[in-house]
Amino acid sequence: MDLSNDTVVVITGAASGIGRAMANSFGAAGCKLVLADVNADDLEVADGEVRASHKVDTLTSITDVSKADQVEALAAATVDRFGAVQVICNNAGVAGKGDPWLGPIETWEWTLGVNLWGVIHGVRAFLPRILEAGGGHVVNTASIAGLFPGFGPAYDASKHAVVALTEGLYHAMEPSPIPVGVSCLCPGWVRTGIIDADRNWPDELGERPELEAGQEVLFNYIRTAIEEGMQPAAVADMVVSAVRKNRYWVFPHPDFVEIAMDRFHSIGEGVNPVMPNESPGLPPREQMVAETMAAVMAALEAQ
Ligand SMILES: NC(=O)c1ccc[n+]([C@@H]2O[C@H](COP(=O)([O-])OP(=O)(O)OC[C@H]3O[C@@H](n4cnc5c(N)ncnc54)[C@H](O)[C@@H]3O)[C@@H](O)[C@H]2O)c1
């Protein structure tokens, strides 16, 4: 689709990282922007940045995407302000701490609430309004974790679900006489605040889970990989290009896609799952396992 100063683009998780970069890339295309996030302070800064850089109209909204009523209110406020909406970027996402099997269930509730239900609410609230506007585009931010697991079970599960529902949406929209494009964004490491996502842990879920003994090892390596990851602006520019060219897959990291392809080959062969020993940006898995075991033993001895 063409992007112009008549195009209204809504971005969730717009206060930081990839969402904030998307705001700048769509702003550079002249689009009117609706920026939604739970973090009011960061949202104000992002809004100021995008308005100063691109001189576009914006609306900001404190919206928790895990809550259907808040996402519905966001969609209504968008149409109230701008008269229509053409593009929704369901981008807000989190990655929690805590042991998935022995730790608190709230880590699952939070991760699935934001990463999966946030996307479901976003599609359900905005799709009818995009159709009313005569067409547009839906961008769902999944992750390479949506194509092969290994980033934590709750995160992996949420992102696999986003990949699946986004593909379903693509098939549903393809024959539609009203054109609605669909894109699925699956990045690897991107230089954002995701590793500290629990800064937004909601009070209503009780005490914020912490890292368990040994989890720090992988966590610290992932922090480094993210700090050395792709710039969010490069990812955002790929998203804008995918919307313009109506491209479904947005893969900023081809090296990670190779791992996904190996996984699907081994599924086809019916062999038991094997974790890749080498993942981009991380030391060999054997080394991380050995360091994790040493950290667990040290914690036990200290007790
Ligand atoms: N950074 C990476 O390496 C990476 C890789 C793959 C996928 N992703 C995905 O990219 C998306 C954006 O994350 P990011 O990396 O830019 O992280 P980020 O932490 O920099 O930005 C995420 C934004 O989402 C907001 N947010 C959190 N909970 C929310 C909620 N309930 N409602 C609305 N907003 C909420 C945060 O306040 C923050 O502004 C996420 O879906 C994430 O899973 C990131």
Mean pLDDT on 295-303: 88
How many other CB atoms are there within 10 angstroms of residue 134's CB atom? 11
pLDDT of residue 142: 98
- Mean of pLDDT over the chain: 96
Q: Ligand 1 site: residues with CB under 6 angstroms?
A: 12-13, 15-19, 37-39, 42, 63-66, 91-94, 114-115, 141, 143, 187, 189-190, 192-194, 197, 200, 226, 229
Pocket perturbation via mutation, ligand 1, pick of 71, 74, 194 by most ligand atoms within 8 A of CB: 194
Structure tokens at 130: 């995009």
- Residue 212 pLDDT grade (very low, low, confident, very high; cuts 50, 70, 90): confident
Percent of the chain clearing pLDDT 90 (strictly above): 91
Question: Which residues are identified as catalytic?
Answer: 155
Mean pLDDT on 225-234: 97
Does residue 17 contact residue 233 with C-beta atoms inside 8 Å?
no
pLDDT surpassing 90 at residue 90? yes
Q: Give the distance (Å) from ligand 1 centre to CA of residue 262.
A: 27
3-state helix, strand, coil in the chain (%, to 5): 55, 10, 35
- Residue 276 pLDDT grade (very low, low, confident, very high; cuts 50, 70, 90): confident
Q: How distant is the alpha carbon of residue 51 from its chain centre?
A: 23
Q: How distant is the alpha carbon of residue 239 from its chain centre?
A: 12
C-alpha to C-alpha distance for 159 and 43, rounded to whole angstroms: 24
Name the residue with the closest Cα to ligand 1, atom 2: 190
Mean pLDDT on 230-257: 98
- Residue 299 pLDDT grade (very low, low, confident, very high; cuts 50, 70, 90): confident
Mean pLDDT on 167-179: 98
pTM above 0.95, yes or no: yes
Fold of 8-302: Rossmann fold (3.40.50)
